Amino acid sequence: MQTEHSYSTLPAEFYSLCAATPVAAPKWLAFNHELAAELGLDAALCETEQGLAIFSGNQQAPWSKPLAQAYSGHQFGQLSPRLGDGRALLLAEIIDKKGQRRDIQLKGAGPTPYSRRGDGRSALGPVVREYLVSEAMHALGVPSSRALAAVYTGEPVYRDQRLPGGILTRVAASHIRIGTFQYVAMLQDLPALQQLADYVLQRHYPELQQEAEPYLALLRAVCQAQAALVAHWMSVGFVHGVMNTDNMTVSGETIDYGPCAFIDSYDPHTVFSSIDHQGRYAYKNQPAITQWNLARLAEALLPLLHPDEPTAVALATEVLNEFPTLYQQQWQQRFCAKLALTPGAENAALVQQLLDLMAQQQLDFTLTFRQLSQSLTDALTPERPTTPISHDAAFLQWHHHWLAQLQLENPKPGFVALQAQMDQHNPFFIPRNHQIEQIISQVVQQDDLTLFQQFAKALQSPFVATASNAVFAQAPPAGGPHYRTFCGT
Ligand code: AMP
Ligand code: MG
């Protein structure tokens, strides 16, 4: 396995070297063999005492040089100048089998110089949730940090109650956040800011290094990556829940899974997080918040954009103003693909009509798209009973309109081919909240991994309908309580 520590070549104020705090009685919960192979990790690590010791923080791997990264962040709009990894440790960067540099990080391995009053630990429930949801996001094709390992610590953590503790090992293209730039900008150390920007260019956007204005190009590239990411989230009904600037990467990957959840019945106002009282991070607000966060990145980059501040502001504003169009393009591509339509303004209006009807009728987001796909061949095979998605006249009218549009655009391929196409853009199942809760409760309260393992296997193929994953495709029982999530602290 090839490991490096390039982040620690940045100036000292970017991080603090910090060892993990050993735990009492570590035990394996999960190990991701497929990801381990991608990384070139020794497969034996998952079977040995040494592997367990490394992924629980009880032993420092010979290839690691643990450090906590420094960053700031706007949390619910308020700037916290000094956050940093309060419960995460970067072990190393692994150069994977494809030559990609990837961070390997322990989450919940004990206090760091950035822990403030926190214990540096994670409860087991949020570890299980992040493991499953991040892996599901990856399988759905959404850029995401990955889960390599999860262990029980054998120690309690104290939140509003005593809970078992866990440690997650996660892997990401990097953990450099908008907040990392904010932190360095606040130091008012121009060379350090430039070093960070150069580092990010080299690591994530090497093709931009030769640009005449590389830092403006960097801002534009992050805007593009984030526009694509958030449109992808929207297309699978994902609500991140805590889109603070410290939780948004410059690579364009989803990280920091906390109070995140997927929408069941479609309501664009959906908020799951118990602390998001204003709905700042509601489903429908995610694109606008992304742009707000990108404006904070732009502010941090200003001194690199032009020596004259008003000129720098004008340059940055121009790039930021492109965001709504970038997002709209990505949204159109994703949602038109869900309905096998060609992206364009007219078809986007057709998508929006459907979403409005789904909201009015509280239709399940994931199931509706899959049922629409099913309806394409139902029409061809009348002997098979059709499952009406909705009996509502407006919905049936919309359905007619959609079929007509498909026929117009596809005189040749036929509905069978279109259905296959749609099924590649509409998951058969997503990690449903009620199922995630059931799995967490089995792991945490009954120490039973059966359902966890079944689900972890199934979620590798979320687009394929099989008998074994059909159970995970079911919507929650109607009339259940509104789902609430809590920050993983
Ligand atoms: P999050 O909401 O998980 O993104 O965390 C926000 C900030 O709080 C980050 O700086 C975390 O490192 C820190 N933090 C969260 N939980 C803990 C904890 N249990 N102990 C120490 N720091 C924490
Ligand atoms: Mg965070």
pLDDT in tens, the chain (489 residues): 899 999 999 999 999 999 999 999 999 999 999 999 999 998 888 878 999 999 999 999 999 999 999 999 999 999 999 999 999 999 999 999 999 999 999 999 999 999 999 999 999 999 999 999 999 999 999 999 999 999 999 999 999 999 999 999 999 999 999 999 999 999 999 999 999 999 999 999 999 999 999 999 999 999 999 999 999 999 999 999 999 999 999 999 999 999 999 999 999 999 999 999 999 999 999 999 999 999 999 999 999 999 999 999 999 999 999 999 999 999 999 999 999 999 999 999 999 999 999 999 999 999 999 999 999 988 666 665 566 788 899 999 999 999 999 999 998 878 899 999 999 999 999 999 999 999 999 999 999 999 999 999 999 999 999 998 999 999 998 777 788 888 765
- Ligand 1, atom nearest to 108 Cα: 19
Q: What is the pLDDT of residue 43?
A: 80
Give the pLDDT confidence score for residue 488 in this predicted structure.
63
Secondary structure class of 370 (helix, strand, coil): helix
Number of the ligand 1 atom closest to the C-alpha atom of 489: 16
Question: Is 344 touching ligand 1 by the criterion CB < 6 Å?
Answer: no
pLDDT at residue number 47: 77
Our mutation pick for probing the ligand 1 site, out of 80, 85, 87, 133, counting the most ligand atoms within 8 A of Cβ, is 87
Instruction: At 446, list the tokens.
Output: 């009954």
Residue with the smallest CA separation from ligand 1 atom 2 is: 487
**Confidence (pLDDT) at 413:** 73
Q: Amino acid identity of 211?
A: E
The ligand minimizing its distance to the Cα of 107 is 1
Residue type, 192: A
Q: What is the pLDDT of residue 387?
A: 62
Which residue in the list 96, 103, 246, 256 is annotated as catalytic? 246
CA–CA dist 52, 58 (Å, integer): 8
Whether residue 458 contacts residue 472, with contact meaning beta carbons closer than 8 Å, is answered with yes
- For residue 260, the ligand closest to its alpha carbon is 1
Dist. CA 351 → ligand 2 center (Å)? 33
In 3-state terms, what secondary structure has residue 95? strand
SS3 480: coil
Residue 263's nearest CA partner among 289, 241, 242, 245 is 241
Return all residues near 54 (Cβ < 8 A) that are at least 6 apart: 45, 60, 61, 64
Measured in angstroms, how far is the CA atom of residue 489 from the centroid of ligand 1?
6
User: 403 CB less than 6 Å from ligand 1?
Assistant: no
Q: Is 246 a catalytic residue?
A: yes
For residue 106, the model assigns a pLDDT of 98
Q: Which two tokens stand for residue 350?
A: 């057709």
pLDDT of amino acid 383: 61
- In single-letter form, the type of residue at position 409 comes to E
C-alpha torsion sign, points 249, 251, 256, 261: positive
Which residue do the tokens 């869900």 mark? 338
What does the alpha-carbon distance between residue 97 and residue 224 come to, in Å, rounded to a whole number?
A: 27
The CB of 256 under 6 Å from ligand 1? The reply is yes
Contact predicate 184/193, CB 8 Å:
yes
Encoded tokens for 344: 């364009």
